[in-house]
A and B are shown apart, each in its own frame.
Chain A
Amino acid sequence: GAVVSQHPSWVICKSGTSVKIECRSLDFQATTMFWYRQFPKQSLMLMATSNEGSKATYEQGVEKDKFLINHASLTLSTLTVTSAHPEDSSFYICSARPDWISSTDTQYFGPGTRLTVL
């Protein structure tokens, strides 16, 4: 149980276009989901915390107008990279915190989405 999926797993787009990445909790509800970014040979960096029914909370230095997050249901959060540029190329990973777990620190991770901007 506690499976998180991401779609697509890999996307290539042209500079200036927008790309949407979906994060789904397949067998549980998650009021809270997280979006991370991972550069090659570097750590995962938290970009934002996504809460169902409310605005996302962005980490310092993350442009909220560039990385739009929508958590429309208890099983789906989307990250849209608007007007993508080559420097946005990265590995984007989401995680979900099950509502049925009392611990606030348990997250299940998706497999990630590799974005390449040409």
Chain B
Amino acid sequence: AQSVSQHNHHVILSEAASLELGCNYSYGGTVNLFWYVQYPGQHLQLLLKYFSGDPLVKGIKGFEAEFIKSKFSFNLRKPSVQWSDTAEYFCAVSSMEKLTFGTGTRLTIIP
């Protein structure tokens, strides 16, 4: 069975700091990778996804993620965070049309 690990449970940053959230997965076959964001009181939204091709994918709001197959990782990055990035971030892996989510990372940005 596939699994997803997000090692950072809560990250606190100041505005303009750089962000990197870790995501590792375990699965032996072909997977598709996602990052979702959940702003306070809102539903899950897709930030970006990787299916194939260029392992560096760019998403909305200045986020990007890099797929490193050898490390089974798909870390999320943003060079300069804003207060509005405060949210819960979920990494997810899909295989056989099923999504498996990590436990999420709560990001708090201090103005």
Which residues of A are in contact with B by a Cβ distance under 8 Å? 4, 32, 34, 41-46, 49, 93, 95, 103-107, 109-112
Contacts and interface: CB of A to CB of B under 8 A. Distances in A.
Contact of A43 (B42, B90, B94): B90
B94 A105 contact: yes
Contact of B103 (A32, A34, A43, A104): A43
Given A43-B103, A49-B98, A109 B44 contact: yes
Main secondary structure, interface of B, reads strand
Nearest to B42: A111
B32 interface: yes
B51 A105 contact: yes
Interface string B67-100: 0000000000000000000000010001001111
A105 B103 contact: no
A103 B101 CA distance: 19
Contacts of A104: 97
9 contacts: A4-B43, A43-B4, A43-B90, A43-B102, A44-B99, A44-B101, A93-B44, A103-B51, A105-B51
Contacts of B32: 105
Given A105-B51, A105-B99, A111-B43, 6 more contacts: A34-B99, A43-B4, A43-B103, A44-B90, A93-B43, A95-B44
A43 B101 contact: yes
A42 B4 CA distance: 12
A115 B14 CA distance: 35
Interface string B18-53: 000000000000001010100000111110010100
